[in-house]
Amino acid sequence: HISTQAGAVSHADCTFWQSLGATRVVLARELSFEDIRAIRQRISGELELEVFIHGSMCVSFSGRCLLSENLVGRNANNGCCAQPCRWNFELYEIAEEKRPESRFPVMETDRGTFILSSKDLCMIEHIPELMEAGIASFKIEGRMKSAYYAAVTANAYRMAMDSYRKDPAGYRYDPLWGRELCSVSHRDYCTGYFLEAPDHNAQLTEKTGYIREKAYLAVATGYDAETGRARFIQRNKVTAGMPVELLSPGRCGVPFVARDLCDEEGKTVDCAPHPFMKFSMSVPFPVHPGDILRGGEPAV
């Protein structure tokens, strides 16, 4: 497979890589739907195309950025990008030619200067166009992300894709899928280059921090159907009486209230406060290993 960092933007690029033995090309992120469809029509049917449809977008062309490596010694190509493009920079302009020591600060807003920070990509509302463009695989940018992030995003897109495959003519976008994608750590969303070349509205200027609406609380390890109790390993504090949701493949978070918490020895507890603490509690429906427990209200 050819990485997006190869910068494949044309049918000639794809044909070249296929001649060297490639079976799939991850296209550059700087392509529109029209570009992707044109490439698909002019390449061999045996060559698969893959595109990014969700997640962080690099300020550099196709992710070929050396800022992190040069500034803090963390190589982006090894999955260690420190994302310096999100930092608040101080930019100065020489005020007078004859007095170079006189500097004038250039500010975007009173919050600072974020000259390199992009919004995140999100194409959940454009599943039909994606699936009709001849794309073999959809890619989610998950570098440096958690298992919870991967589970929520993949689940939302999986539900949308399955819905379209089941009934293309009757397909309707479900806003619940979009709300799921807003429940995990993200920045403001945009559609990248798919619909049109991004303008200033695709840049973050007011804030560059992550938005997170719901907290990742625990992961399920088992369920006893006779007692209706599920076993979990804690990721964030769980307190009896708090509203929670259970996320599992093929469905969004199912709400209920955390009740009857017990520690690993079966002793009743008010909360599960310690990281990786094993605990159990009553759940009003079946739970499967790997299901995710999360907060039912916005995380503080």
DSSP codes joined into one string, the chain:
-B-GGG---SHHHHHHHHHTT-SEEE--TT--HHHHHHHHHHS-TTSEEEEEEEE---SSGGG---HHHHHHS--GGGT----GGGS-B-EEEEEETTEEEEEEEE-SBTTBB-TTPBPEEE-GGGHHHHHTTT-SEEEE--TT--HHHHHHHHHHHHHHHHHHHH-TTT----HHHHHHHHSSSB--EE-TTSSS---GGGB--S--SPB--S-EEEEEEEEETTTTEEEEEESS-EETT-EEEEEETTEEEEEEE-EEEEETTS-B-SEE-STT-EEEEE-SS---TT-EEEESS---
Mean pLDDT on 227-248: 96
Phi, psi of 268 (to 5 degrees): -65, 135
The pLDDT tens digits of the residues spanning 258-286 come to 999 999 999 999 999 999 999 999 999 99
The pLDDT tens digits of the residues spanning 163-201 come to 999 999 999 999 999 999 999 988 889 999 999 988 777
Q: How confident is the model at residue 299 (pLDDT cuts 50, 70, 90)?
A: very low
How far is the CA of 43 from the CAs of 12, 29, 30, 194, 244, in angstroms? 8, 18, 19, 20, 49
State the Cα–Cα distance between residues 132 and 286, nearest whole angstrom: 37
Look at the domain 216-295 and name its fold: Elongation Factor Tu (Ef-tu); domain 3 (2.40.30)
- State pTM to two decimals: 0.84
Q: How do the domains of the chain map onto residue ranges?
A: 4-61+118-200, 216-295
State the Cα–Cα distance between residues 53 and 195, nearest whole angstrom: 12
State the Cα–Cα distance between residues 38 and 247, nearest whole angstrom: 38
| Residue whose pair of structure tokens reads 């992550």 in the numeric block | 210
Could you give the maximum distance between any two Cα atoms of the chain, in Å?
84
The pLDDT tens digits of the residues spanning 38-95 come to 999 999 999 999 999 999 888 887 777 888 888 888 887 777 888 888 787 777 766 6
How many Cβ atoms are within 10 Å of 274's Cβ, its own excluded? Answer: 11
Q: What pLDDT is attached to residue 90?
A: 72
Instruction: Look at residue 251 and tell me whether its pLDDT is greater than 50.
Output: yes
CA atoms within 13 Å, Cβ hemisphere of 133: 24
| Residue whose pair of structure tokens reads 């759940």 in the numeric block | 283
Q: What pLDDT is attached to residue 298?
A: 46
